[in-house]
Structure 1
């Protein structure tokens, strides 16, 4: 089985590692060596949950999609469920500092389990629901979780396949369906789990919960975030209770969220961005969370929920753009001219507004007319007609995509962050937005570029270290500065620009350093291209591997009267269109950074296939290794 672990980027634990006690949650390598921030007025996140539940008792905290409609649970319901789950964890013997693992798609039980664990001084550990058996085995053994809460029979089967090698797992809770028993481990349904803390010891458990809640300190570990491993094995990022509290407070102060806001939870809760939004930002703002049934149903959910806040990774926005442009392309005559005019007016008005200029009265009148004729209809069709905050982050997005949305009077604001900074490091705010930049540093934090262009970050949101990996921690946090591994610069106005990953840097045979990220983002602006991977390390020119957007290819075929066949990608018209997209990207690049050749990969990238992370970022190392023969062929002549 060690071979399968290596293939997924997850090395097996040695016997010594498996038995070794990691540093305690409140005494880790960083705390021993570095000065930690002071968290004034700190309120532990689970205590904040109970405080918000008391304030908003009968208002909806979360919604779940039923067969016919959305069904709400109140804040009082939410708090009661967390207390009940906390008692049950105590009844199962969970101690202070233990890990409680969660393997599930987004649903209320995920948040309930996580807050219950935090309430008793334990540590929630999210596992991506798309994880392989080898990944699950690695994480469960690394964090030593005695309890695992999982969603259904499919997730249970993954755990069953590695059960004999799970050294610390004692209890399995299955949310949907009835679990089977594995070896000598106790398996139970969610309903059975929730009554474990009832009975004669219930009052004792309640007193213990209150005692542990009162004992939570800001530098206690609040959650473990396992990195998705785009460049190597996953590491366990230790985020403190203070990190979570500080970022949630900062976001609430910046965006003034309250119980009148609503958002959809659909990205993996094992990822820090979604975990902050669905759990901690929600608790501090009091807004309602709608749990999506699946990513595939996001489009329907958007129109039903009409969120006021929405976070999307670049691929979500790019797919929306492709769909909108396909609709616009179907317009003819006057309607086509009207759409073109509206896009131009929207872009001109918003570019001036973003630059801090006052658009002319004539341009403003045109924009108001375009809003009635075009913008409102598009926004309603997307479900964004009541949105006041739309954000993109987690990967580069093409400036052309952001400009496209401004043409529809939709402001998608770019941010930047990482697990090690508890989510956001920069934000683009109203009145402080430059397309192409990822915003400015959060108030109370610092960002600067080192001599080699690597971005360094310092502030109260920086993590405490990688659990069980003091050497990796020491390489990542130097003199209180987080070495992000990202290349970029900060302009004279404080706006941060990202040019790529330091580890992804391509060094050509001529010694030129080229960051592929922005080249790839520009290529993916084409309706035909879903993903692009630029190659050229040690070579004398750049090439690109492309996967094609299925719907974009079908739309192209219809527009050009071509039959939709398995070999459509080979048609000269398709090849010419791809070359045109590459030529457009090359016009934006220095000669050394221009793509000279390309190849089409017929199999799409996927999370299950191992080419994508759960947040839809390409695992470059995996793709380059798998496609080495094809890459060599691109340089054969």
Structure 2
């Protein structure tokens, strides 16, 4: 049995122990705190997990008990999760942006016994719904600041006390932790990963140690990583996209995980880390692209001209690199020159100079954005999967990157397209099902295949092409099919458009609600002496409407078929927001919800006699308070109408 086969049989705690024995003195985790980077070796990592595990045991946490984690990405997040798994418990994670009522519902559904929070903000949320969660026996917190009001209540416990209990238990029985870890089996459920919840309360996907480790091993078989490589952890731990790298890839390869000081500083800390590989949702790459465009826009005219020229050269060179074809010498020299004088300094400014591979997933990314990054020399590749298959099942290979596809299956992954066009998958990373939802599980795993809910097909090169969610695919009045996601991605490639929602199912034409990008459009307006006060004010400027109209005209001009063209649009008065229920926690549009919430705007989009409409705009603030103002929405018809 080779090394890979051996690792595939282990649990995550067993793999951590193996990693500790192999490279114990190497840095495993690095955290920025108060401006300084603090490191944990694999020995330190293992010792902290042991302290947590034995401490949990001391306060009554038992096999198959659940612990929920509501925390920023910090080392303690992993100490707690793997510590719980070491004693046979099951971890889960809840998005830090979740509101108290939502947290209470999830804790009840998952039958959680313990909760770990990183700070007072999250502890306060759990305390607010204490009456709803009688099964929660203790709330453990990492940061003691602001916790004075909780210190006389045994329901709350600082992690330092948990460490102390764990150390005492280890002194009394030094062999106990190894005995507990040895009891684990790779097929044991170790984590309940919440789905994105596009249709209500998230479902807990039951994932095993083997699910995670298999994914990590198969991914690195396609794209090998070195133990000296650096990874930056800034995605929410509740998302499978972060877990697959933290639990799967990092343990399988021994790479170091770096934790930025905060979500707000992550892009700045990225420059100090200089990761060798990174993974991010499309919004991350869209944000970075906007920053690049702003830097170029603020530079001298000659610089913009040089950038424009070498961007065209870079796009040509990217076509050869992505297809694995040999590049003509003249183009190779020009591309090298552009990289040295334009793109290398630019990429270095955003911290991606050492990056060998970048991945995106969780939602579709427009082909134009792929080509943009590849032109810069950033090896951005698409992955595709879902929570129920540990995030990755398909990915691009170097030299075989096709922007209109999501690549080929990982080794050991089978793909099939059902009779109605649904993407089906099968591998050792497929979930055991949804926690306490047998009927949903039966639908998900019908016939022994994982049902994605996505429509797609396999092209002649063996690449998987994802069309859209089956439930989101639309047909116009004449029965012609189109993908709203495809059109939304085309729109979002514009630097001026941050988000778009496409309508048109069973209608005469396609329409859109547009979110402008406040940073890029704000800079555009300032450069032209257009004053504005708020996002709403900026969105409703006639000049901004003309700007968006020109961007839509470009997309319509490139559309092959009439029913792919956008006929009517309106700029929305606010950014779509997950706190308002318009986006999932991973940034996907909750299309049905948006359609119902803005039904009056939807109806106006399909009445060409309406040029403007008074509406009541409701805003919800972070503290839960709402404000309502009356405003006028303007509707625009393409083609001069």
TM over 0.5: yes
Q: 1:270 aligns with which of 221, 238, 248?
A: 238
**Aligned position for 2:64:** 97
Residue 206 of structure 2 corresponds to residue 238 of structure 1:
yes
1:572 aligns with 542
Cross-structure match for 1:411: 379
Per the alignment, residue 612 of structure 2 pairs with: none
2:82 aligns to what SS in structure 1?
helix
1:419-454: CA deviations, max 9, x gaps?
A: 011110111121221121111110111112222221
Aligned to 1:601: 572
Residue in 1 aligned with 2:162? 193
Alignment of 1:28-107 (within 5 A): 42-107=9-74
Q: 1:41 Cα deviation (Å)?
A: 5.1
Q: CA deviation at 1:183?
A: 11
Matches within 5 A, 1:407-446: 407-446=375-414
Give the distance between the partners of 1:123 and 1:431, measured in 2 at CA.
40
Confirm whether residue 285 of structure 1 aligns to residue 256 of structure 2.
Answer: no
> Counterparts of 1:9-24 in structure 2 under 5 Å?
none
Aligned to 2:498, the other structure's residue is in SS state: strand
Q: Deviations over 1:317-364 (max 9, x none)?
A: 111112212222334443233212211111111201222221111111
C-alpha distance in 1, partners of 2:149/2:448? 48
Contact 2:53 2:86 in 1 (8 A): yes
Cα distance in 2 for residues equivalent to 1:363 and 1:523:
30
Q: Which residue of 1 aligns with 2:581?
A: 610
Aligned to 1:551: 519
SS at match of 2:425: strand
Q: Deviations over 1:531-582 (max 9, x none)?
A: 1111123432221111111111112213433223442323332112211222
Take 2:305 and 2:503, find their aligned partners in 1: how far apart are those partners?
40
For 1:85-484, list aligned pairs within 5 A.
85-177=52-144, 178=147, 180-181=149-150, 186-199=155-168, 201-202=169-170, 207-484=175-452
Structure 1: gaps (5+ residues): 1-37
C-alpha contact 1:222 1:244 (8 A) present in aligned 2: no
- Residues 620, 180 of structure 1: alpha-carbon distance in 2 compared, 3 angstrom cutoff: farther
Q: In structure 1, the residue corresponding to 2:499 is in which secondary structure?
A: strand
Query: 1 CA distance for matches of 2:189 and 2:252?
Result: 19
Task: For residues 376-423 of structure 1, give each alpha carbon's deviation from its aligned partner in whole angstroms, at most 9, with x where no partner exists.
Answer: 101111111111111111111111111112221222111111101111
Q: TM-score, normalised by structure 2?
A: 0.90
Find the residue that maps to 1:466 and give its secondary structure: coil
1:333 and 1:582 map into 2 onto residues whose CA distance is 26
Larger deviation: 563-572 or 438-447?
563-572
Cα deviation for residue 179 of structure 1 reads 6.3
Partner residue, 1:10: none
Question: Aligned partners of 1:39, 1:624: CA distance in 2, in Å?
Answer: 50
- Residues in 2 aligned to 1:41 and 1:563: alpha-carbon distance in whole angstroms: 60
The alignment's C-alpha RMSD in Å is 2.0
The question of whether the paired residues in 1 share the 8 Å contact of 2:522 and 2:538 is answered with no
Alpha-carbon distance in 2 for matches of 1:188, 1:179: 12
C-alpha displacement of 1:39: 9.2
Cα separation, 2, equivalents of 1:249 and 1:166: 38
Q: Gaps spanning 5+ residues in structure 2: where?
A: 609-641
Residues 503-512 or 442-451, more deviating: 503-512
Task: Verify the 8 A CA contact 1:172 1:185 in the aligned structure 2.
Answer: no
Q: How many residues align?
A: 599
How far the C-alpha of 1:49 sits from its partner, in A, is 0.6
Q: Within 1, Cα distance between the matches of 2:512 and 2:527?
A: 26
Cα deviation 1:185-240 (Å, max 9, x = unaligned):
621111112112343x4456654433332222222102100112123331110011
Question: 1:296 is paired with a residue of what secondary structure?
Answer: coil
The SS at the match of 1:196 is helix
CA contact (8 A) 1:531 1:548 kept: yes
Do the aligned partners of 2:497 and 2:516 also contact (CA within 8 Å) in 1?
yes
Aligned to 1:6: none
Verify the 8 A CA contact 1:179 1:187 in the aligned structure 2. Answer: no
- Provide the TM-score with structure 1 as the length reference: 0.90
CA distance in 2 between counterparts of 1:50 and 1:305 reads 26
Deviation at 1:182, TM superposition (A): 10
* Contact 2:12–2:247, Cα closer than 8 Å, also in 1: no
Q: What is the DSSP-based 3-state SS (H/G/I as helix, E as strand, rest coil) of the residue aligned with 2:579?
A: coil
User: 2: distance between equivalents of 1:631 and 1:205?
Assistant: 66
Aligned to 1:583: 553
Task: Give SS of 1:465's match.
Answer: coil
Aligned twin of 2:635: none
| Higher mean displacement: 332-341 or 65-74 | 332-341
